[in-house]
Amino acid sequence: MSKKKRVLIVGGTGYLGQHLLQSFADADSQLALAFTHHSAPPPALLNAIPHALPFSLDLRTCDGLDAISDAFGQPDVVINCAALSVPRVCEMDPEAAMSINVPTGLVKWLSSFREASLLIHLSTDQVYEGTKSFYQEEDETAPVNVYGKSKVEAEQYVSAHCQNYAILRSSIIYGPQTISPVPKSLPVQWMDSVLAKGEPMDFFHDEFRCPVFVKDLVAAIQILTNRWITEAKLVRLLLNVGGPDRVSRVQMAEAVAHVRGYSTSLIKQVSASSVDRGVKSPCDISMDITKLVQTTGISPTCYAEGVRSTLEAEAKSAAKP
């Protein structure tokens, strides 16, 4: 392991974390991989990527970081995917949201090493207020809920205390299911399941996002990782990471209907203001991703194509014995 570059994925059993582990494992045998988990790591993930070392980590107390130092060593790259990311849950427990989402202990741990590591920290489009279209990275952050506020505080902490970081403001992440299915509902799969029932369903027509295909987000992270490993140039990056399309929930559902052949008459348009979700939600936090494309060179997948790829992957998975 001493000759290999080390990549640590914090929150490796989550949706993005599992996709990252799988992609890194498939792409580069010269990397030593480790990941953290809060509860027991799923056997399917351990079996699929047996060389990735699992470590238990409590983000509130940071119990478990010393074990990583002892058994894995200093990581060259840390990708922090872990978060309390359900806005309603964050609203109900602001203390938990702040203690989990602001990575003070993780940053302090990285600062204890003599050599610089790259921290790739996942943030959110919900740092924006949502009163206009296509936010740029330089625009003011004015979140309307606790989740967004915790992520702004996290960004500020990382930028103030890290010398080498990339903060990625991700929109809704969608794509195929993970090696070990995650318990949370995935957007495209959920829309497919409700429309398949043939019953009318309400979708918001006035809440806009730039959903990002998970493989594009993984590709961007891999590019930043490889750049640091090969060039060792310190970076201080802040990037919007969304897809190329600004879509409402209605348009998201329509794309699923078109791929699957469902009648779009099942999609009933309602205003987001007509539903009490227990938390305020920004109306339009679509993002300008020019800087992402310029920095990484990726060509983000259009939403319709991403939906098609997602549903085709689900069909193949379902057909396996």
298-310: pLDDT as tens digits: 999 999 999 999 9
Residue 115, both tokens: 């050599």
Q: How many residues does the chain have?
A: 321
Q: Are strands 212-213 and 173-174 parallel, antiparallel or unpaired?
A: parallel
| H/E segment holding residue 5 | strand 5-10
Residue 105, both tokens: 């202990």
Task: Quote the CA–CA distance of 17 and 218 in Å, as a whole number.
Answer: 9
Spell out the CATH class of 5-176+212-243+286-300. Answer: alpha beta
pLDDT (tens digit per residue) in 121-145? 999 999 999 999 999 999 999 999 9
Task: Quote the CA–CA distance of 97 and 82 in Å, as a whole number.
Answer: 11
Residues ≥6 apart with Cβ < 8 Å to 274? none
Average pLDDT over residues 222-235: 96
Name the pLDDT band for 318 (thresholds 50, 70, 90). confident
Contact present, 289 and 136 (Cβ < 8 Å): no
Residue 319 has pLDDT above 80, yes or no: no
Chain CA centroid to CA 187, Å: 13
Q: Are strands 53-56 and 31-37 parallel, antiparallel or unpaired?
A: parallel
pLDDT at 321: 67
Residue 40 has pLDDT above 90, yes or no: no
Task: Quote the CA–CA distance of 23 and 87 in Å, as a whole number.
Answer: 28
CA nearest to 97, candidates 148, 33, 34: 148
Give the residues across from 215 on adjacent strands: none
CA nearest to 74, candidates 25, 121, 109, 49: 109
From the number of C-beta atoms within 10 Å of its C-beta (0-12, 13-18, 19+), residue 195 rates as buried
| H/E segment holding residue 173 | strand 173-174
pLDDT (tens digit per residue) in 73-110? 999 999 999 999 999 999 999 999 999 999 999 999 99
What's the whole-number average pLDDT of the chain? 96
